[in-house]
Amino acid sequence: MIKKKKEGSELIKFKRTSNNENISSFVDGLIKEFKIIQKHLSRKKKILINLIANLVINHNRGLNTAIPRSESFYSKIKTRYKSDIISHDLIVEFIDLMKSNDKYVIEKYKASRNEFGEASLYSPSNLLIKHCKDDIINNYTLLEDECILLRKKIINNNTISNGELTQNTSSSSSDEVTVEETISSGIEDEGEITQKHRKMLVDYSDTDYTRSIRSDLNEYNRFRIQNTFSLKGLPMNMLDKKYKENIQRFASVNISKLIPDAKNRVTVPLAPDHLVRIFTEDFEKGGRFYRGFETQLKKELRPFIAINGEPTVEFDYSNYHIRMLYHLHNKRCPDDPYTVFEGLDPDDGRDYYKTMVAACLNNNNEKSVLRTMRYYITKNGLRDYFSDITNEGLKAGLKLLLNHNRKVAQYLFHGDGLEYHKIDSDIANDIMMYFTRLKKPILVLCVHDSFIIARTHSDQLHRAMNKFYRAKVHKYPKIK
């Protein structure tokens, strides 16, 4: 959706709603006041509640609400992903009625153009806050919408010139764009043709598999929203510049107004959310879980996650995809497939080879892997550690890695990394649904290759991670 936004604003979320009777009565009053035509009244009421919920919730978090005014923003949303409350004409009509004379809504900034059209920033008036704040904050929930997403890659060819990308050919614009760049800075890449991927949501026909996983995820999301989340006992110094924006993105309150306890710690309540699964190209690739706060919080903040006020523990599958590669080919995996020689730096060095393994799984040739590693070196400020970052200079490290993992080296460079995502996401689905369907359900959070659960249930999680990995791969995982 909108990537470029003014500081202190958030794009409208069409899932937000409230079942509170007072809010329903207030909206009935607005419908009479604005003399709204009675046709499709139920839908119009949903849209008004959604607008009010966004305005009040974001204001409580210290944010304005960004509402696109260009019809192109709404028309680009594919039918499968467009709920009945997504209507350009009605949303713009209702927000204009509410901001008349600044009675219910105040337009903070008029529409400004960006690649997705135009969006204005709004905040609720004091009158709207007075009538709706408590009822919305204490009683809002989320609508169910399409949670199984399929994306297709659109590829543009680019030439690297002076470290910058120059686009050669272009394709049609996409609905929701994310950029994956394997671009490096280095003399060797000058003048090379490389590719820049954009991913767009597409419609698809349902199968037994998509219906099954949609049913699972809707069941999980319904249970998820019954639970509460927070960052508990967070030191005040972690609300500084490094983490503040990331925390505020998921907080349900304005974190700058939190008052620390005697130990100079705060508890940050987090807003409810729903997960989606995102597949790429087809339903045999990708499928990981996204849009939960747990996958977007900075890693250093995750130890403070509390579920229903309880502290949590996180376990992850160690060396997940490379170990899975060994197991699927009935090979014994080294204790650490990333440690290619003695004396490897435990931080930067190991992360470098971990990234290289991922590149070998996701790319289909050596040159693309070396380009990816050159980009990694530059991005992470590691240039001083390498005397030569040309292809020839980086090949030595790649050879060490391939030799260390020689039992499976022949299975690398096949570009099938997303197929491993499919396997790990199905394992994650099994783990999450196992705990959701217990007689006394327990919520589990998934961060791709790791899982978070209330500390009192740590043994159960460890056993489940073993069980469901073995069910798919027929070997024991390494869990830490």
DSSP 6: -
DSSP 334: P
Give the pLDDT of residue 192: 43
Residue 345 has pLDDT above 80, yes or no: no
Give the pLDDT of residue 272: 94
pLDDT band at 41 (very low <50, low <70, confident <90, very high): very high
Percent of the chain scoring above 90 in pLDDT: 74
Distance CA 327, CA 321 (A): 10
Output the average pLDDT for the chain.
88
Pairing relationship of beta strands 148-161 and 193-201 according to DSSP bridges: antiparallel
Residue 200 has pLDDT above 90, yes or no: no
The enclosing H or E element of 164 equals strand 164-167
Give the pLDDT of residue 351: 86
| Local structure of 104: helix, strand or coil | coil
Pick from 80-84, 139-143, 348-352: least confident: 348-352
pLDDT digits 0-9 by tens, 69-115: 989 889 888 899 999 999 999 999 999 999 999 999 999 988 776 54
Dihedrals phi, psi of 441, to nearest 5 degrees: -60, 150
Distance CA 89, CA 78 (A): 17
Residue 158 has pLDDT above 80, yes or no: no
pLDDT digits 0-9 by tens, 220-276: 999 999 999 999 999 999 998 899 999 999 999 999 999 999 999 999 999 999 999
Give the pLDDT of residue 323: 97
Pairing relationship of beta strands 140-142 and 164-167 according to DSSP bridges: unpaired
Residue 38 has pLDDT above 60, yes or no: yes
Q: Which two tokens stand for residue 111?
A: 């529409």
Distance CA 120, CA 63 (A): 13
Question: Which of 5 and 303 is assigned the larger pLDDT?
Answer: 303
**Residue showing tokens 């990331």:** 246
pLDDT digits 0-9 by tens, 361-409: 999 999 999 999 998 998 888 888 888 899 999 999 999 999 999 999 9
Give the pLDDT of residue 153: 79
Dihedrals phi, psi of 245, to nearest 5 degrees: -65, -40
Distance CA 238, CA 260 (A): 12
pLDDT digits 0-9 by tens, 172-192: 433 333 333 333 333 333 334
Q: How far is CA 301 from the centre of its chain?
A: 16
pLDDT band at 117 (very low <50, low <70, confident <90, very high): low
* HSE (side-chain half, CA atoms, 13 Å) at 450: 15
371 Cβ neighbours under 8 A, 6+ residues apart: 182, 183, 184, 189, 194
Query: DSSP characters for 301-313?
Result: GGGGEEETTEEEE
What are all long-range contacts of 406-412, with beta carbons under 8 Å and residues at least 24 apart?
A: 407/326, 407/329, 407/331, 407/332, 408/322, 408/325, 408/326, 408/329, 408/331, 411/325, 411/329, 412/360, 412/361
